[in-house]
Amino acid sequence: MLLELRHITDPLDPAIASFGALQEATYFDAEMLIPASIIGQMLTWSDSSRSNHLIVIEDAGRVVAGTLFHYLATPRIGFSSYLAVAPAQRGQGLARRLHDARAALLEEISNGACQGVLIDVVNPTRLSADERELERGVGSDPVNRLQVFSSLGFKRVDVRYEQPVGGEDGGPVTNMDLLFCPRDAVDGVPTALIVAAMLEFWTPWLGVKTAQAAAKALETRAGGGELALIALV
């Protein structure tokens, strides 16, 4: 039976809870995830600057793959909060189905203006031994994950990336990289575009003042007009 792909718009759809369970089963740090109890609210909220979306693939009503993502209207970029495939369904091209469906929806939402998709992903070389063990505990391999994202067209944005909060003692998370999948084949991306996207992504979460400070710090670390896009593998 062909697995069903759906764009979830109803905040009471049971697929939201099923997607939440998938997230928790496939990621080693649940505190870094957007909980299912919040996702339903997010799907009903949008304004001129941002909209939130969930696409899932189901097997007999159970979510076996899904992606939660956002369209950031000012920089005209998508941001992927999470993409996961259940271990038993891996190797069947489900990540590609989700990625292609997400790209098609972003094209529709933006009237063809979306420039690509950002995502932040842990860097395997900056994981502690304990974190690697936690990854193994949920059947996850951070190196394989980068290979999957590479196959989808993502490259690393050449800048030291820090997620502003959530790290040790409340500081920034520093074990992640920022990846970008451009709509068109390019070797670089304007610094201003990345900074604008992260400012718009961070603001609802952190508030205006903190988001602006984090975006300014990112701009300072970038130190130039364009950032190279570096192959992951």
- Using CA atoms, how far residue 112 sits from 1, 99, 105, 115, 217, in Å, is 33, 16, 10, 9, 31
Percent of the chain with pLDDT over 70: 97
What is the Rg, in whole angstroms, of the alpha carbon atoms belonging to the chain?
Answer: 17
Any long-range contacts for 198-204 (C-beta under 8 Å, 24+ apart)? 198/118, 200/49, 200/50, 200/72, 200/73, 200/74, 200/75, 201/70, 201/72, 201/79, 201/118, 202/164, 204/50
Measured distance CA(147)–CA(149) in Å, rounded: 5
Which domains does the chain show, CATH number per domain? 4-230 (3.40.630.30)
pLDDT digits (tens, 9 = 90+) for 31-57: 778 999 999 999 998 787 899 999 999
Measured distance CA(74)–CA(50) in Å, rounded: 8
Q: Is the pLDDT of residue 1 over 70?
A: no
Q: In this structure, what token pair is assigned to residue 199?
A: 């400012």
* Helix ranges, 3-141 (H): 15-26, 36-44, 94-109, 129-137
Give the pLDDT of residue 136: 87
Residue 137 — very low, low, confident or very high, per pLDDT cuts 50/70/90? confident
Mapped onto helix, strand or coil, the DSSP state of residue 59 is strand
Q: What's the mean per-residue pLDDT of the chain?
A: 92
What is the per-residue DSSP string for 134-173?
A: HHHHTT--HHHHHHHHHHHT-EEESS---BSSSSGGG--B
pLDDT digits (tens, 9 = 90+) for 139-170: 888 889 999 999 999 999 999 999 887 666 66
What are the respective helix, strand and coil percentages of the chain, to the nearest 5?
Answer: 45, 25, 30
Give the pLDDT of residue 141: 87
5 neighbors 56 (Cβ within 8 angstroms): yes
Beta strands 77-85; 62-72: pairing state = antiparallel
Kindly report the length of the chain: 233
- Which amino acid appears at position 169 of this protein? D
189 neighbors 150 (Cβ within 8 angstroms): no
Measured distance CA(49)–CA(42) in Å, rounded: 14
Q: Is the pLDDT of residue 30 over 60?
A: yes
Cβ burial, residue 195 (10 Å; 0-12/13-18/19+): buried
